[in-house]
Amino acid sequence: MPTDSFKSRIESQLSRIYEAGRRKSLPSPSYRHLSSNDYLGLSRHPSVIEAIVKTTASDGAGATGSRFLSGNHPLNGMLEEAIADFKGGPSSIVFSTGYQANISLILALSTIYPFIYSDSHNHASIIDGIRLSGCQYQIFPHNDLEALRGMLEKRPLGESFIIVTESLFSMNGNRSPIAALLNLCDEFDGILLLDDAHGTGTLGQEGRGGLEHASLAFNPQRIVLTGTFSKALGGLGGYTVCHPLIRELVLSTGRSLIYTTALPPGVLAGNLEALTILDENGELVENLHSRVRKVREAIGLPISSSPILSIKGPIEKLEMISSSLKENGLLAPVIRSPTVPVGEECIRICVTNHWEDTFTRLLSESMIKAQVLL
């Protein structure tokens, strides 16, 4: 039986969480989700499913160990070669999750770049990686180049650094000014760590991500990419695309790579098939961009290729929109602190290739009902 002390400590902490409006609960699977990251619908593509089933039947359900022991299935190397080629980079490493990719990259790079400048809207995996690294860091206001320049000018002379940002920010759908950030890296001699998790499959005419969208070539001495197979590619796992020397550094120091089980063979096969489909079928990205434009026009958002729609307003109005959608079987919860900064609460909507016109109508009606006009 739990002791009174045991229960009271936990209940006291839960009370603080509840009072701050930070209680989390798992959604019912019976709803249709309007915040899915499966932008291109590849998680249900028949060829992807077939690749997973065939490989699982022949090679087993699990990886059986770390990549440094029994888990380095040949498909790891094939997937690394494919994602590096897709991104235009020289080498790659596949991780079990995108979270682990960011943690490992930041920990490895911080041993040679002791100072990090991170966008205030960066993902939790980036924040956690920076904290775990123990290095010096500064947070610059979201996409604020002037503020970032001021920080760089005040740093100790000759101190090497990393600028960390996302190509497409996961909560507000903004794009980062990649070209301008690279110019700062050139001017002050730093490197750019670019999380392309939500940019892959959505940005650029061919869906190759933030660099393609910005018409930039991959410079391995200035750019390190991270990303995931779990968004537009519909699978599971993370990756980095980087200079071969950085790859060697991560292989030797990346604890979240070294001390975890590798991806199962079937997952690797599905990821590889999804990447091949994206590489060979540009119409998938074209269709997504077309849907995004139509939805943005219908609800009054600025025209952009970003499939992430951020609806902002007073909490009570956002709750009205969310409840109205839920009554119609659609799940679009309000995103609160600490996922987003206090005052920037929103409803995050993701347009995908499975988006239906009914969704647009119901979303528009719920916004009008709540008197939230964009």
Any residues with CB less than 8 A from the CB of 3 and at least 6 apart, and which? none
For residue 373, what pLDDT band results from cuts at 50, 70 and 90? Answer: low
Please write the tens of the pLDDT for every residue from 224-267: 999 999 999 999 999 999 999 999 999 999 999 999 999 999 99
* pTM, full prediction: 0.92
Please write the tens of the pLDDT for every residue from 77-109: 999 999 999 999 999 999 999 999 999 999 999
Higher pLDDT, 304 or 324: 324
Return contacts of 365-368, CB within 8 angstroms, 24+ apart: 365/324, 366/320, 366/321, 366/324, 366/325, 367/299, 367/311, 367/321
pLDDT on residue 49: 99
For residue 367, what pLDDT band results from cuts at 50, 70 and 90? Answer: confident
Structural domains of the chain, ranges and CATH numbers in brackets? 46-280 (3.40.640.10), 282-369 (3.90.1150.10)
Contact (CB, 8 A) for 94 and 272: no
For residue 2, what pLDDT band results from cuts at 50, 70 and 90? Answer: low
Q: Which residue has the tokens 């619908």?
A: 41
Residues 142 and 177: their CA atoms lie apart, in Å, by 11
Per DSSP, which regions of 62-209 are E strands?
A: 91-95, 115-119, 136-140, 161-166, 191-195
